[in-house]
Amino acid sequence: MQFQNDLLLRAAKGEKVERTPVWLMRQAGRILPEYRAVRESVSGFIELAQTPELAAEVTIQPVDLLDVDAAIIFSDILVIPEAMGLPYEMVEKRGPWFPNTVSSAADLKNLRVADGANDLSYVIKAIEITKKELNGRVPLIGFAGAPWTIFAYMVEGSGSKTFSKARAMLYREPKLSHQLLQMITDSTVNYLKAQIKAGADLVQIFDSWAGILGPEQYDEFSLQYIAQICDAIQEVPKTVFAKGAFFAREAMGKLNCDTIGLDWNMGIAESRKMIGADKTLQGNLDPAALYGNPDQVRKATQNMMEQFKGSRHIANLGHGVYPDIDPEMVKVFIQSVKDFQ
Active site residues: 26, 30, 39, 76, 153
CB closer to ligand CP3 out of 88 and 308: 88
What CA–CA distance (Å, rounded) separates 296 from 280? 26
- CB neighbourhood size of 274 (10 A): 18
CB burial of 187-216 (b: ≥16 within 10 Å; e: otherwise) equals: bbbbbbbbbbebbbbbbbbbbbbbbbbeee
CB 55 within 8 A of CB 126: yes
Give the shortest CB-175-to-ligand CP3 separation in angstroms. Answer: 26
* Residue 301 identity: T
Determine the Cα angle at 113 with ends 253 and 214, to 5°.
Answer: 35
Dihedral angle over CA of 25, 62, 75, 316, nearest 10? -10
CB 95 within 8 A of CB 30: no
What CA–CA distance (Å, rounded) separates 183 from 111? 9
Determine how β-strand 140-145 pairs with β-strand 202-207: parallel
122 is in an annotated binding site: no
Cis peptide before 5 (omega within 30 of 0): no
What CA–CA distance (Å, rounded) separates 253 from 245? 12
Give the shortest CB-310-to-ligand CP3 separation in angstroms. Answer: 28
Sign of CA pseudo-dihedral 291, 205, 175, 110: positive
CB closer to ligand CP3 out of 17 and 73: 73
Give strand ranges (E) for 50-168. Answer: 71-72, 89-91, 95-97, 140-145
Burial class (CB within 10 angstroms; exposed 0-12, middle 13-18, buried 19+) of 146: buried
Give the shortest CB-72-to-ligand CP3 separation in angstroms. Answer: 4
What CA–CA distance (Å, rounded) separates 303 from 296? 11
Give the shortest CB-306-to-ligand CP3 separation in angstroms. Answer: 26
Report which of 139, 146, 140 is spatially closest to residue 255, judged by C-alpha positions: 146
234 is in an annotated binding site: no
Residue whose CB is nearest to ligand CP3 in the complex, by number: 29
CB closer to ligand CP3 out of 76 and 219: 76
CB closer to ligand CP3 out of 16 and 93: 93
Give the shortest CB-211-to-ligand CP3 separation in angstroms. Answer: 11
Where along the sequence are the contacts to ligand CP3 (CB under 6 A)?
Answer: 25-30, 39, 45, 72, 74-78, 90, 95-96, 143, 159, 206, 208, 320
CB closer to ligand CP3 out of 54 and 173: 54
Give the shortest CB-298-to-ligand CP3 separation in angstroms. Answer: 24
28 is in an annotated binding site: yes
Question: Known binding site: residues?
Answer: 26-30, 76, 153, 208, 319
